[in-house]
Amino acid sequence: MFSTYLIYAWVIFVTAIFSVAVFLASLTDSKGVNPHKVAGIWARCILFGSRVKVRIRGLSNIDHSRSYIFMLNHQSLYDIPVILGCLPVQFRWLAKHELFKIPLFGTAMRRAGYISINRTNRRSAFKSLKIAALIIRSGVPVVIFPEGTRSPDGRILPFKKGGFVLAIQSQVPIVPVIIQGTSAILTKKQIKITPGEVSIQVCAPIPTTDYTIKTKEILMDRVKTVISEPFENLK
């Protein structure tokens, strides 16, 4: 456990430093480009200090001239630095509001242009989706955990509908992203951090133009099938 305490101390230290850096970067960049880049450096520092190695595949599936909604499975808090540090895309998070309550970290997320969503408040959630729609229309991708929370055992939880409504209304493709290995580093119900390796698979975009609000469940099932696919079956 001693190594875990050292990692937590490192995380707190770099989070404090980079929260200030994100704030300073945001003063001269209202679009959030530089704050997001600083957040990426923060994430890689977290991974370095935690001795987490990441391998990513499928980047050729991304057209950087297009906007997407990236949808990820969610197993661990480490999913956040893994994606921030290793997905080479200028994106914005749509994340649960509890994360924005974390001292310094939450402030940095807001200054970077990330979007808080409170699913227990229908009006607030609707407002968050409208903000996300504006960001997508400006050409900036958005990242969503469609499960809404971390899975305690690695199995994919039921998807929330909001992200799919957003995708259909915005008419942008959904890119399923599979993260494997973060649950072994830090599970939902434990505090021990175990260094290890993480794999990311960026899957082929799924067009949303053929779907409507009435057929969103079909789209949800399609995305869930891809995200549930074992790594060895993917190319």
For tokens 């290995």, the residue is 181
Query: What is the predicted pLDDT for the residue at 235?
Result: 52
Tally of domains within the chain: 1
CATH number at residue 60: 3.40.1130.10
Nearest to 40 by CA among 67, 61, 22, 58: 22
116: buried, middle or exposed (CB in 10 Å: 19+, 13-18, 0-12)? buried
Q: What is the pTM of this model?
A: 0.89
| Residue 68, both tokens | 């997407």
Strand partners, 174: 69, 206
Nearest to 144 by CA among 155, 131, 156, 160: 160
DSSP-derived pairing of the beta strands 196-202 and 142-144? unpaired
Query: What is the predicted pLDDT for the residue at 233?
Result: 53
Query: What is the predicted pLDDT for the residue at 140?
Result: 87
- The residues of the chain scoring below 70 in pLDDT are 2, 230-235
* Domain extent for 97: 2-233
Query: What is the predicted pLDDT for the residue at 234?
Result: 54
Query: What is the predicted pLDDT for the residue at 198?
Result: 96
Strand partners, 70: 143, 175
| Residue 215, both tokens | 């057929």
